[in-house]
Amino acid sequence: MEIETFSLSKTYDNGKQALRPIDISFRGPGIFSIIGLNGAGKTTLVRILATQLTPTSGTATVGGFDILRDTPRVREIIACVPQEARAVPPWLTPLQTVSSYLMWRGYTYRESRQMALEALGRVGLSDEVRVKNRMLSGGMKRKVLVACAIASEAEVLFLDEPTTGLDHISRKDLWSILRDISRERTIVLTTHYLDEAESLSRSIAVMSHGRLLALGGSMDDLRSMMKHPVSIRVYGPPRPR
Ligand SMILES: Nc1ncnc2c1ncn2[C@@H]1O[C@H](COP(=O)(O)OP(=O)(O)OP(=O)(O)O)[C@@H](O)[C@H]1O
Ligand SMILES: [Mg+2]
């Protein structure tokens, strides 16, 4: 699936220019990572691509469908994990959360339960499938959302910081799940971690203050694109007086 943006920009109602006109193109399957500091515009970009937010100018296509003109078609082929883990309903269990999400997507009750149990097992929540979401830790709530996305069979997944708040082992487990899924599907992932972007992605976009600083296939590509050579000076310990 191809994702393309055409001079896509966003200025919020308060005048904040979160996204300067941006042109990106990625052809899946595989993982496209967006990396950048807090406030770089990653979530704004992902929410626009996922049709949750309208751009101020420009447009984008997901799988050939225009996010503004073909919004329902885009929604049929995508699944999202938002940055906020609060999105899980506290009164449901993980099994109810994932299976009801799948039923909304058109699967039968039986299929949904089966697919939900399998996805929850994959993210390591087999023991918690019947515990209320409100009893889960922040990392576990995030895993419930990831389970929804991977169970969905959507062709394009948008994952906004899926590994934030996960412990080291869960993070590496999720990497291996994402690698596996990305053989057939297109994943757009935001992250603060260089190692994550480098280890998982076929293409990496570096964003800063709403601008695309660089777009490359690997961190080495991105380093070689830097306009100015980087020099690092290392000082020894202070000399005793
Ligand atoms: N609803 C909003 N109204 C006004 N400004 C907003 C809104 N949402 C985000 N912003 C601003 O837009 C800019 C980009 O925010 P965004 O959430 O896209 O960044 P981000 O790269 O996802 O950051 P983080 O790594 O912290 O998640 C920030 O300056 C933020 O304050
Ligand atoms: Mg964000």
**53, part of any domain:** yes
**43, part of any domain:** yes
List the one residue out of 72, 50, 61, 51 whose CA is nearest residue 24. Answer: 61
**230, part of any domain:** no
Q: Give the CA dihedral 86, 92, 98, 104, nearest 10 degrees.
A: -100
Provide the pLDDT for residue 231: 60
Q: Two tokens at 232?
A: 């690092």
**96, part of any domain:** yes
**How many domains does one find in the chain?**
1
pLDDT, tens only, 1-49: 999 999 999 999 999 999 999 999 999 899 999 999 999 999 999 999 9
For helices 168-181 and 138-151, give the axis angle rounded to 10 degrees.
10
Cis peptide leading into 29, omega within 30 of 0? yes
pTM: 0.89
Which of 37, 38, 163, 213 maximizes ligand 1 atoms within 8 Å of its Cβ, making it the mutation to test the pocket? 38
pLDDT, tens only, 183-203: 999 999 999 988 899 999 999
CA distance 34 to 69: 25
Which of 43, 159, 207 maximizes ligand 1 atoms within 8 Å of its Cβ, making it the mutation to test the pocket? 43
**231, part of any domain:** no
pLDDT confidence bin for 228, thresholds 50/70/90 = low
CA distance 148 to 102: 8
Environment class of residue 193 by beta-carbon count within 10 Å: exposed (0-12), middle (13-18) or buried (19+)?
A: middle
Provide the pLDDT for residue 238: 72
Domain residue limits at 148: 2-224
**71, part of any domain:** yes
**165, part of any domain:** yes
- The CATH code of the domain that includes 175 is 3.40.50.300
CA distances from 208 to 54, 108, 167 (A): 21, 44, 27
DSSP one-letter string for 124-152: T-GGGTTS-GGGS-HHHHHHHHHHHHHHT
Q: Enumerate helices (H) and strands (E) in the chain, giving the number of each.
A: 8, 11
CA distance 62 to 141: 27
**234, part of any domain:** no
pLDDT, tens only, 67-121: 999 999 999 999 998 887 667 999 999 999 999 999 999 999 999 999 999 999 9
For ligand 2, a single-atom ion, which residues have Cβ within 5 Å? 42-43, 83
